[in-house]
Amino acid sequence: MAEGMRSGGIPAVGTSELFQILRDGVPRTRAELAAMTGLARSTVGVRLDTLTEIGLVGAAETAVSTGGRPPVQVALLPQARLIAAADIGASHARVAMTDLSGSPLAAADARLDIADGPERVLTWLVGAIDGMLADIDRTRADIAAVGIGLPGPVEFSTGRPANPPIMPGWDGFDVPAWLRAHIPAHVLVDNDVNIAALGEREHGWPDVDHLLFVKVATGIGSGIVSEGRLQRGAQGTAGDIGHVRVASAGDTPCRCGNTGCLEAVASAPAIARALRAAGHDVASSDDVIALVARGDIDAIGAVRQAGRMIGEVLATCVSLINPSVIAVGGSVTRAGEHLLAGVREVVYARSMPLATEHLIIAQSRAGAGAALAGAAALAIDYALSPAGVDEMVATLEDRRLVVR
């Protein structure tokens, strides 16, 4: 019989597998855990000792006593370890420290330029993390995992940016290895739209398993949640809808080198450009939103038209992945319902009735905090997974060897 297997070929329940039962935070007794796993109570005890030693599990508040000594219950201790989350944009970064349930404990933000390169940006990040740790009186060793979003394509399996257009110096940079030299924790890196999709689902639509999150800002991108899981595709570029050709874009040049891309006609800079061509004094998406807020017909029309062009691409997405919710976020959505009105107009007209019968097209619920919440969710999911718990156990065993 292979090691690690019980008779009958059922995988043995190790420490990290036992922890998966306790991940939901529900307090349980040793007897209950023994019954659920088929392990002897003494074996459950050994596994729980390890989980207690790494701090993930501890004695829970015992239920109201019905007389006699109540059985000891154990549960996940969310405050035992920390998660560092970062949403690094083109010109602005936010970081937060949360517990293992995602509750924020500290936060910081700063203006910075992603084009300064990885070492300067990540040096700032480590400094910000140290500052937050000092505020809550904890240390780097308490961090279980780090989740980071970057404004460009990332090869998720290695955490290396892949040909990011606005991030000089970052191409292929080993972000996890650089950070691990400072913070002894697992580091997960993904692009900002993917982590925003995770945050949007976690905080806006926790019961929705098929969600498409669309970000309309300087660029246009989407994150796909299907069967409750983020879908990154083979190279991590799934959902990159900004460079899909739209018929009404004609030969408008795009920053990717192609022409007729969605981003070239429906992003915030494209809307501003269209309004400038119509004689309006607009420089940024803020100016566009201010113009819409004043009820300017041209501005409202331009935003709605951008919505229609985005809807053209989203109608195809609806046919391909059949989401039940399309959540639209990003700076342009601050212009109110006009963008969504354009999206709905085209998606409902161009999709098959069955696909849109129950389809909700709505503003992002998680708002500007979606990406940071998603970065935390990504890191928590890893930290509490069997692989994450095994890593913590291995670190503990290394420390024991050093002590001996």
Helix, strand, or coil (residue 26): coil
Nearest distance, CB of residue 170 and Zn ion, angstroms: 20
Which DSSP state fits 130?
A: H
Residue number, 20 or 248, with CB nearest to Zn ion: 248
Question: Of these, 216, 261, 289, 383, which contacts Zn ion (CB under 5 A)?
Answer: 261
Burial category of 7 from C-beta neighbours within 10 Å (exposed 0-12, middle 13-18, buried 19 and up):
exposed
Nearest distance, CB of residue 260 and Zn ion, angstroms: 8
The count of chain residues that interact with Zn ion, using the rule CB under 5 A, is 5
Residue number, 20 or 258, with CB nearest to Zn ion: 258
Nearest distance, CB of residue 297 and Zn ion, angstroms: 29
Residue number, 123 or 258, with CB nearest to Zn ion: 258
Amino acid type, 219: G
Distance of CA 260 to the CA centre of its chain: 30
- Contact string (CB under 5 A) for Zn ion, positions 4-33, x = contact: ------------------------------
Distance CA 18, CA 282 (A): 58
Residue number, 197 or 261, with CB nearest to Zn ion: 261
Does 108 contact Zn ion by CB under 5 A? no
Nearest distance, CB of residue 51 and Zn ion, angstroms: 49
Nearest distance, CB of residue 333 and Zn ion, angstroms: 21
Does 256 contact Zn ion by CB under 5 A? yes
- Locus of tokens 């007389």: 67
Nearest distance, CB of residue 258 and Zn ion, angstroms: 5
Does 254 contact Zn ion by CB under 5 A? yes
Q: Could you say which residues in the range 208-247 bind Zn ion, by CB under 5 A?
A: 243
Nearest distance, CB of residue 245 and Zn ion, angstroms: 9
Which DSSP state fits 195?
A: H
Q: Which stretch binds Zn ion (CB under 5 A): 35-43, 189-197, 260-268, 343-351?
A: 260-268
Does 339 contact Zn ion by CB under 5 A? no
- Give the CA dihedral 337, 94, 149, 257, nearest 10 degrees: 60
Does 258 contact Zn ion by CB under 5 A? yes
Distance CA 127, CA 269 (A): 33
Where b means 16+ CB within 10 Å and e means fewer, 158-193 reads: ebbbbebeebeebeebebbebbeeebebbbbbbbbb
Does 310 contact Zn ion by CB under 5 A? no
Which residues on neighbouring strands pair with residue 92, listed in sequence order?
A: 111
Distance CA 193, CA 179 (A): 22
Evaluated on CA atoms 218, 221, 330, 262, the torsion sign reads positive
Residues that bind Zn ion (CB under 5 A): 243, 254, 256, 258, 261
